[in-house]
Structure 1
Amino acid sequence: MRRIFSITALLALLGVTNSVCGQAVARFSPKTDSASRVRSMMKLAQNSVDYYTHTFTLKGLKPEARERMHLERCQAYLILNKFDKAIDDCTAAIAINPKSTKAYITRASIYDGINKSELAIEDCKKAISYSSTDEIKAGLYNLMARSYLQLHQYSKAITADSTAILLNPNLANAYINRAEAFGRLGKCQLAINDLSIALAGYRDKPLTLSDLLAYRGDMKRGLKQYKEAINDYSLSLKLNPDNGMAYWNRAAAYRQNGDYQLAYEGYSKAIAYYKNDRKQLARLYDDRALMEIGLQQFPQAIADDSLALALDTAFAEAYYNIANARAQNGEYARSNTDFKTAINYYSKNPFAMTAIYGSMGHNEYFMGNYQAAVDYSTKAIELHTANSSPYFERARAYLKLKNNDLAINDFKEVLARDTSKQSNNYAFSLFYTGDPNKAIEIMQASFLRTTDSFILMGNYYNMACLYSLMNKPEEANIFLKKCIAEGYNKKYALNDADFDNIRNTAEFKQIIGIK
């Protein structure tokens, strides 16, 4: 029998989930000006600073003139990225005119931009108290909401943006920010509603519209509406064919929808946009490796995860995934070496450690090291998670060690602990405890429960194992041939003791390619 994890299950075991927002969408980032234009702007800004600094030395300036000059020099400092000096000018303007709405708004914007969110909120509140129009107040509530987002105070952000929308129902950015806050709280449908409204405000800005559609796709993924999400990502890419994040997140939606080939192609396209970001590039190679595992392309998966680890030597998930790919490829000893490295990163995660020790026990079983299989499975069991798989792995090893009573006890533990009563382990435990007909029934039902080709082939393989154990060679070979024809790795069958009863049949030798 072979362990089969869905790609989603592999991620879940490691404590890795697809966040509601997927990879962070790079929305509304300023477009880069040409180098010559930047130099020209910087020169003009410095000239402006010099001019106002000199003018402040003149006598007889009226207070309102000094207030205006401080705010104009502030703008020049902002171009020069001298934020402290820009703040000082705003503060000076406020000292001249404590009700200077423009000074409070400008300083709040600067504080927001440099992540001094609490100070930004305080300035927004003061500016609101001095503002005369609903439009200005709406913008301030929206700015306040952005600062709340930076502080992860999502409910307060929603309240602030809701107020902004009441004051100005056409303020598209308020809908966008509120959508982000809803998304962070897992309220994906509310986020989708706001994003759908915001889209109308950016019809003449295709790049921004592309980002909004991609973000709405993220929210639909959060609701498991994968086909709808894919449609939004595709619309996003029509507007901006260079939206690397949309390629990445569409690939994730394909993955979650079980379309491994399309996901693979999407990750491959996204890779081109992250060549200068080692950590993100490493994650993309690891994501693509998972798809290659799903496509039974284990050497390619190993190669991609090797690239990921070369880019990020502390990439925990890649160590786990390359270990799993090696195990699937029949490289059991090297798999366990990688699992041992993964332990360094998951030692405080009992669920991941249970999976790692269980997988190592599985590898030792296939190498014929049955006592080592027992020892690793016991380590997994001692972590006291709800995972019943280590009991199954240990039970099989006990059988090989002729400890039948201990084996039966562990098989009974699987039957007691596996509340789904539908897994392959559960079916095989039924067989070993004397109910082969029920085991076959459960395995047959498993074919109807999934459209995932990787899992389905694994289920065919395990059905072949079960029939072989029951000494039914004709049925066993039918299912073995079915999974091998779909591209299943032959290495497992060559080493799997479950096939000992049919190994010498002509059909088995033909399927595996033994002469």
Structure 2
Amino acid sequence: MNDDFYNRGLAKAKQKDYAGAIAEFTHAIESNPYFADAFCQRGLAYYDSGEILLAVSDYTEALQLNPESVEAYYCRALARVALKNLPGALADADQVIRLNRNHAAAYNLRGIVYRKMGHVHDAIANFKLAADLYLQQKDKDNCRLCLEKIKQLQPKQNLTVVHQRPTPTTPIMSPQEYFTQLLEKAEKGDTRQALEDLNWALQVDPQDAQAYCCRGVVRYKQGNYREAIADFNQALQLNFQDAIVYRNRGRARFQLGDHQGAIADFNQALQIQPEDALLYIARGNVYRAMGNYLGAVTDYTKALQINPDDPQAYYNRGLAYAHMEEMQRAIADYQQAASIFCEKEDWKNYEHVLENLKKIHSPSIESKQSKYNMLRQRLLRLVGGYWEIAQRLIDQTKRYYPGMSEEWYMEKVIDDLERDRG
């Protein structure tokens, strides 16, 4: 008989006859005082009729009879929010999630509670989890609502406003600011969390070109160069024409040994940002790796014209000069780099530069390689600073005249080049 009362109560609640539903559920409970679902449904009817305290009482009774009732915990959490009992609501939402890790509405409710308590970061985290679950459940409307809540809260992540109460005039954080925060997170070493956030963003919007770009940067920092390049390619296909894409794809290509591809990307980036010193340093590094030391020096010099206090540009130019046997210039650049590193208290790089200075000043090395270095410098000048050309000529000469010394081969190549040029 109590089932008949219960079913009639459900029917009346569906028709919004809450007084009638309460009466039927009460009969069901009188017939069976251990009927947990009847307490829970009567609590819902009380809640819908505005009797919030009575609703909480019934939900509590239902939980005493069935401590694993997800519905009773969730309903009581909603009622406690209405009563402004935020700690109680939060405790109930936590219980729902403990019993069901995929309860999207509970994460959303927990986000609401955290927002009311002023815990902005926790609110955003829960709205993200709710949006992700709604997305998996193909509930796009609720997913979109969670995203809107995140947009409204994101500005308060800024340290200057994080402790302030929300105001209607607070500006919404732009996508650029959001992705900048993710990149800053990756710079500080938290690449895993940044990658998770970007994967989530791309699940929500697979056409977000900026998200692909940022994920490429994070993957580059993780050393996943091929995956990074794939993300940069996707960003470009979606018409995200930004120097950051070309610069970082160039860096990834360089790491994979694709020197020509790297230079092409740096050239493209420089067309967009012709005054970016870091781009000239990056391209100079590729030239140096290819043996084009003259091209490397030119780029490092351009970087220093833009930023005269960049110690890395001085150090890299010093390396290029050393390969060209321009030792005095190399020493001057090393000394300048060491001085700036010292001012910045960057002792690791400072010591590294000093080690290179010691190698140049070593008398044993100078005396042993004096003639060889002079020949190498003459040959480099004859081939325009491209050591790979010089090496190719030396290798050809070795095939024709096997068994001779390195100095003999360099002298032979030099003589041939000078004779051919008259």
TM-score normalised by L of structure 1? 0.41
TM-score normalised by L of structure 2? 0.49
With CA pairs under 8 Å and 6+ residues apart, which has the higher RCO, 1 or 2? 1
Q: Which has the higher helix share?
A: 2
